[in-house]
Chain A
Amino acid sequence: MRLQLILILAVLTGSCVSIKAQQPLPDSIPVSTLDSLRPSLPVDAHFLLSYYEQDGNHSAVTGGTGTEELQDIASRIIVNVPVDSVTRISVDLGMNHYTSASTDRIDSRISSASRKDNHVEMYFGYEKDIPKRKMTYGLNAGGSIESDYLSTSAGGKWSKMSENENREIMVGAQVFLDTWVLIFPEELRTVASQQVHTDKRRSYSVSVRFSQVLNRRMEAQATAELVYQHGLLSTPFHRVYFENEDMARIEKLPESRWKYPVGLHLNYFVTDWLVLRSYYRFYADDFGIIAHTARLETPLKFSPFFALLPFYRFHNQHASDYFAPFAAHLQGEEFYTSDFDLSSFSSRKMGMAARYAPLRGLARFKLRESVLRLRSVEIRYARYRRSDGLEANMGTLHLAFILP
């Protein structure tokens, strides 16, 4: 019996050794194989639909007076696709259709083609992480088109985290190469073409962003940008009226502009049901505009799946050196505008969003080999009032999808 057990053990041991000997030792597993062994990374997609309406009485098309009534319906699709564990691509496609009572007054025919327009834009992004160095770099490119404006852009960014991932610095650059389709006010088309020397607008910006974890419940981010624009910076179909002149002129602004915005975010997780998201921006440019913007949002979490997000935004700006209201410009001014967007004013925007994001999603849509899940829905409303009388309402619907 003992001998039989010994023989059985010997056979089993021999077979194990022989089996081991038959299996070659694995080489280092390539990254692509490692990625195929991990669960596939989900694709997330966002669908946004927005309605915007405004009205006021200082249209720049008619020299700083007249209706500013406008309606805009906009839609946008953003898709983020992880190519592998360190690489992501994104696509951002937007379309909007707007009708404007003020641009309808570019010529004398009311309810003409200038009353409405469509805008389409598409941007592509690419990001890659370098985990060993805690670095990420990204590239983007895209463009937009509407009846009077064509734009192409490209940019890049680089970011690095600290070893403990409590700090991050990001440096980015962006360039826009734009072209106006010159459309002048009907009665000024002969003289306007002599005043405008280019249909190009070039915009270059560099930005630095610094993020810091302050403690377990608080983090901050500071952003500084430097922007330079040159080319046709005025709007070809904006009219400007002068004292003691019956005939308008078209808006004329310098052909270069420097902008210096600086922003600060501060977020604080107060309790499980309250978060404070705050933001402040200081802005200055060499047109003479100085502005301060502050925003506060206070997400209220009624459950892990439902939150209300009230917000309030205040903006105050000092006018451009080149601004004067209707028929207030004087002879001899080199640059002039009656666009109230460049005037002195304060504005207030307040509203609320509601977000519902249950754990298992709201709906599932069967695709060929996978299931698209509606992860969350958010509805947002904002009311905007400017001190010169412009008022606006905006509603946004956001649907977030995930494709595992």
Chain B
Amino acid sequence: MLVFIAGCEPVKQYQKQYLNDEDMQLQNRESELFGIEVDGYREGASGANGGKTGGGCGCN
């Protein structure tokens, strides 16, 4: 991981026109929220995706 990070190219604020694009955001879109919740209800795995990891519902 450290080697991977060390190979990164530093990007200045004025060079971030691509990284600041709406579709480059690392967070989930609002329209994806329902789908992520439902995936957590009908599968045994959850978490690490911005959704609930346990609790808040009577689900697994």
Contacts and interface: CB of A to CB of B under 8 A. Distances in A.
Q: Do A and B come from one complex?
A: yes
Interface of A: 46, 48, 50, 52, 54, 74, 76, 78, 121, 144, 146, 148-149, 151, 153, 164-167, 174-176, 178, 180, 201-203, 205, 207, 211-217, 219, 221-225, 227, 229, 233, 235, 257, 259, 261-263, 265, 267, 269, 275, 277, 279, 281, 283, 285, 287, 289, 291, 293, 299, 301, 307, 309, 313, 315, 317, 320, 339, 341-343, 347, 349, 353, 378, 380, 382, 384, 386, 390, 392, 394, 396, 398, 400
Query: Chain B at the A interface: mostly helix, strand, loop or mixed?
Result: loop
A275 B23 contact: yes
A339 B54 contact: no
Contact of B8 (A121, A213, A289, A392): A213
A48 B57 CA distance: 20
A223 B18 contact: no
Contacts of A392: 38, 42
Given A78-B30, A212-B8, A339-B60, A269 B54 contact: no
Given A221-B26, A277-B24, 15 more contacts: A52-B38, A149-B57, A175-B55, A178-B58, A213-B10, A225-B48, A227-B53, A227-B54, A257-B54, A261-B49, A263-B48, A263-B49, A291-B43, A309-B23, A320-B44
B45 A315 contact: yes
B55 A341 contact: no
Contact of B21 (A164, A167, A262, A275): A275
A229 B55 contact: yes
A48 B48 contact: no
Contact of B49 (A203, A257, A279, A343): A279
B11 A216 contact: yes
A382 B12 CA distance: 38
Nearest to A219: B19
B44 to A, nearest CB: 4
Contact of B55 (A78, A203, A293): A203
Contacts of A76: 33-34
Q: Interface centre among A261, A307, A342, by most B CB within 10 Å?
A: A261
